[in-house]
Structures are given as C-alpha cells and as structure tokens.
Chains A and B, each alone.
Chain A
Amino acid sequence: MIFVAAGVSTPRSMTPLFFGTAEHRLFGVFQPSRRPAGRSGVVLCYPCGQEYVPAHKAFKSLASLLADAGHDVLRFDYHGTGDSGGDLDGSTRPSWHEDVSMAIEELKDTSGAEQISLCGLRMGAAWAAQVAAGRADVDRIVAWDPVVDGRAYLQSLEPFATSDGEALEGQGFVLTPETRAQFAAVTPAVYARLRVPTLIILTQEDAAGIDPALKAGAGASRRLEVESVAGPCVWIEGELGTGGLPVEALRRIADWLG
C-alpha cells in the first residue's frame, strides 16, 4: 500500500514514496501511466554497488518512456541502498529478492494490474529473473546488460572495492560472504530457464563475449530474445556526466514491453 501522505504528485504525476514496513522501509518512485487505459505495471530493478548511481538517470528516463506507452511504473531502491532504510554494512542481511517481491506487490496494489513486467539492469536483471521464476504474476522480463556469470562479476568488483578490515566494500554495500554467495549463484541458467517472454538487451562493448550458454539458450527457447543495441553503458561510472542516454536501448525496451 502506498502511504499517500508520504508522496505528493509532481506536475508530471511522478510520486516518490516509501513503502514496506517500519522495519523494512523501501524508497520508490511511482510513475503512473500517461494513458487512461494503462493497467499494466512494470517494476524497474536497479543494479547494485558502484553501478547504481550512474544508472539512476537512465532509469528515470525509462520510467517516463514506459509511462508514455501506457504502463504504471515503479522503480525502487533495495533495502540498504539509495534512500531506502538500512545499511548494507555487514550488519544487515541483503534482501534483494524479497525487495523485488515487495515492489511487485506494491505496484499491483497501486495500479490494479494483475500481471507485472520486470526490467532489471546488471545484477538487477538477475534478481528479477530469480524472483520471476518463483511467481505466477510476472508476465515478461527485460534483462538489460544482465550479469550472467556471478563469479566473474565478483572478480570484476574486487579491483574497485576497498578493504575495510576483512570486508570488501563498494558504494556503501559490503561484500559479505552471504552477498558473495548470492552473486556467485548467478549463471546463464537463471535466464535460460525462464518460462515467460524475456528480452535480453545488450549495450556492452563486449556483448559478443556474453556467455555462449546464454545465446544457446536464446536459440533453444522462443521465449528468450537476445539483442544488441548501440549506446553508452549507463552503469559505468566513467560515463557519468557526459549527458548521454542509451536512447536506442530505452526505446527498444519500451517498444518490446508494448
């Protein structure tokens, strides 16, 4: 349920809000459809760590595009990240999957939609896929530059993470053994086994290096499409401040979700 007093509409009807429980408060931004017939909902799942801040602007733009196309949209911060409650300082258990589920319930409650689409970037794509596998109310998934090899992803983080005692930390979250285990569990099978229509959209320069198992899965399943589009990788901090948006990727995602 949206706490009405916690959010006030802007002229474009974007509503920042808190949802969840007092002990597990999540921050989100609800963007209602700009078409009267809009009864479909899309939950946007941010990437985590250092990739979260650079991606914020693109997520805001994507939410707006989807609202134009007739979707109610909710983008939200995982517990311990962004403006949500908690700290991922090692004292709090990460709750990525529970948070995605909470956001789905929040959007269903707010929009009245019975089926929800998920769009996740990087590790957000993996969590979206993992949550979708256990629910019957997710009808489509967009996995944007998804992490397909959690172990390789962890290795890529380590040069940028800082050592603070025994923990590795980056962008305010600690790579605890539990977090590492959750990341390491991400494999191409997370996407290949999905039973709902799935678009994997790639803007990475090394898209050709995406695990062949993923593309094999695409060939094996009609439900899985893999596309490469041009554009900046919005989750890379070095591209911050350039003012560029991944226009082609955003348009393709909006078109595919209909």
Chain B
Amino acid sequence: MSDRVRDDVQERIAHFGRPKTLVGVTSLPPASQAVRDHAVVILDVGVIHRVGPNRLHVQLARQLARDGFVTLRFDFSGIGDSEPRPDRVVQDVVRQDISDALSYLEASVKATSFVLVGLCSGANAGLRFARLHPGVVGAVLLDPYWYKTPGFYLRHYGRRILRWQSWRNILTGRGGHWQLVREALRGDEPPAPPEDSLVAPPTVIPRAEMEEGIAELTQRGVQLLNVFTGGHEAYNHKEQFWEAFPRFRGSPEIRVEFLATAGHTFQRPSDRRAVIALIREWLTTKRFAPSPQAPRAADGAGAAPVAS
C-alpha cells in the first residue's frame, strides 16, 4: 500500500535490516515521472531522527522524489523508531545500518547505484561509508567535519580586530580567543575519535583520513557536493576547502558551495529552500559514473517497490 503525499509522490514505510529493526520512509516518484538511475539515501544527524532538523530531510526527500529519485530516509539503530541492534558484537553499527539500507533499496526498487546525503555527523558517516561500497556514485556532504586553516584564522580575526569588544575580551580572558590561539599553535590536529562508535556516527575525521578518503573517492569517479554553512564552527569561506586540500583544486568530481547566511540546521525556510535547490540542481545535472554493480533491471515510469 502506497501513501500519496502531494503531487502524486508516494511514500511507504521501509522496515528492513537483519533482523528488521530499522525504520524509514521511502519517497517514490510520481507515476508520471521517469525513475532516475540513482537512489538517494538520507542519513540521520546525530540523535535527531529521520525527519531531520527543521524537517529538512522530509522536504528534501519529497522534492527529490518529484524529480524522479527514489529517496530513503531512515533511522540508525537506536535512533528514532529504529531499535538498537540486538547483536552487540557488530563493530560499526552505522556502517551496517547504511549497508542494510542500500540492500533494502537493491531488493525493493532494484537500485544499483546510490547517492548519500548527510548533514554534520551524517556527512561524516556518509563519507566513510562511500569508500566501502562500490555502488555509491555520489555524496552530498552538508557541513562535514572540517579543518581550520591559516586563512580561517586570518578571516576570523580580521573581522574582529577593529572591534572594541574583541580587545576587551582578549584582555580580560573572556570569549574563545585564547582557545583558538592554542588550537592554532597545536596545529589543528583533532583529538582521537572515541573508541565506541556503536550508535553515534563519527563527529571527527582526522585530516589524513579525510584526504585519503577524498582522493580514493575521486579516483573512483564518485561525485562529491560539499556544502558548508555560516553555522559551521570551523569553516568561514568558500575557498577553505581548497586551502585545506590544495591538491584537489580543479578536480571535476568535487564541487564546493558556501552558504554563508545559512545556519547549521537550516532553521530558516529560505535556507532550506536554498540548499534543497542546490542539491536538486547538482543531482539532476551531474553525470555520475556508472556503478560497477549490475545495471538497473527496469527503468521506467513509477517505481513499484515490493513489500518487505
């Protein structure tokens, strides 16, 4: 049984995993819309369940379905309506959850290639998973973990140097100025990630791992849309991506956007409209490399997923 939402977008409950402990919602294109090759999977943000902050994931999923993308939003184990995994020996639950989500789409709509979308910790989880699954052909990374560069500090202090309040805070020890100086002197290496990642997706990705991951993915032809907001605590200019990793400048697989006025959780409707429009434009115009997996069995009008 499908569930019409608006404009003939159909939504159905997704209940999957081994055992079936994961809960999500699949948004399906209208019957009149040709189904596109790539299914989209939207990942949880921290402890916020699958609707996303300010309902961003719901609005994005429905819009992408109208554009022809089968889109799944779901809860990681122990988050939202998904139960914790009974098998606690699984070392990386998030990785297993995403793997189960892709398997579900393979079985239900015969999808063979995927684009992952994640915000913050969801972006970090998506980036890490993309390296592990050959079916991932693209990733939208919204405010992923990032690295303060010399340019970040120059811009950060450049804006403040003429402000009396900044000098007052420096002289009195208030504010975060001295902490930033200490971070800069330390060389910006993040602390080691926690050992236990059973529930929480990674919040920190060491610089070497990030660089290695981007290199590996771009070499594979995986497309990356990196979107940073003005709410990112460690990112304050569009160029900062390239400042951190100049070797990737000019890479056709990488696109970077900086939404300076948007908050980290896209609280304003106009910010949500802007980021959704950006993702739609990128997804509908980008040429994704074919997945090495088997070609899609049946493209055509109106997805017809099987009950699971």
Contact = CB atoms under 8 A, between A and B. Distances in A.
Interface of A: 3-8, 10-12, 14, 16-18, 22-23, 25, 27, 29, 53, 56-57, 60, 81-83, 85-87, 89, 162, 164, 169-172, 174, 240-241
A34 to B, nearest CB: 15
B168 interface: no
B130 interface: no
A68 B49 CA distance: 24
20 contacts: A3-B1, A5-B1, A5-B307, A6-B12, A7-B13, A7-B15, A8-B13, A8-B307, A11-B83, A14-B81, A60-B81, A82-B55, A85-B5, A86-B5, A162-B268, A162-B269, A170-B54, A170-B267, A174-B269, A240-B46
A16 B83 CA distance: 12
Contact of A16 (B23, B270, B308): B23
Contact of A12 (B2, B46, B83, B270): B83
B81 A240 contact: no
Contact of A25 (B5, B50, B51, B267): B5
Contacts of A10: 15, 20-21, 23, 83
B268 A29 contact: no
A159 B1 CA distance: 42
A89 B269 contact: yes
Given A11-B19, A56-B49, A164 B268 contact: yes
B1 A53 contact: no
B13 A53 contact: no
Which of A171, A172, A240 gathers the greatest number of chain B CB atoms within 10 Å? A172
B19 A172 contact: no
A41 B284 CA distance: 46
B278 interface: no
Contacts of A86: 5-6
B81 A162 contact: no
A4 B1 contact: yes
B6 A171 contact: no
B76 to A, nearest CB: 13
Which of A11, A85, A170, A240 gathers the greatest number of chain B CB atoms within 10 Å? A85
B127 interface: no
Interface of B: 1-6, 11-13, 15, 19-21, 23, 25, 46-51, 53-55, 58-59, 80-81, 83, 86, 267-270, 307-308
Contact of B55 (A5, A22, A81): A81
Nearest to A8: B15
Given A53-B49, A164-B268, 12 more contacts: A6-B13, A8-B308, A12-B83, A23-B4, A57-B47, A83-B11, A85-B6, A85-B11, A162-B267, A164-B270, A171-B54, A171-B55
B3 A25 contact: yes
Which of B3, B4, B269 gathers the greatest number of chain A CB atoms within 10 Å? B3
A165 B30 CA distance: 31
A18 B47 contact: no
Contacts of B51: 53, 82-83
Contacts of B4: 22-23, 25, 85
Contacts of B86: 11
A29 B81 CA distance: 8
Contacts of A89: 269
A7 B14 CA distance: 8
Contact of B13 (A18, A23, A240): A18
Contacts of A6: 1-3, 12-13
Given A10-B20, A164-B268, A53 B48 contact: yes
A12 B23 CA distance: 13
Nearest to A60: B81
A164 to B, nearest CB: 5
Contacts of A3: 1, 3
A29 B50 CA distance: 14
A241 B55 contact: no
A172 B3 contact: no
A53 B53 contact: yes
Which of B48, B58, B86 gathers the greatest number of chain A CB atoms within 10 Å? B58
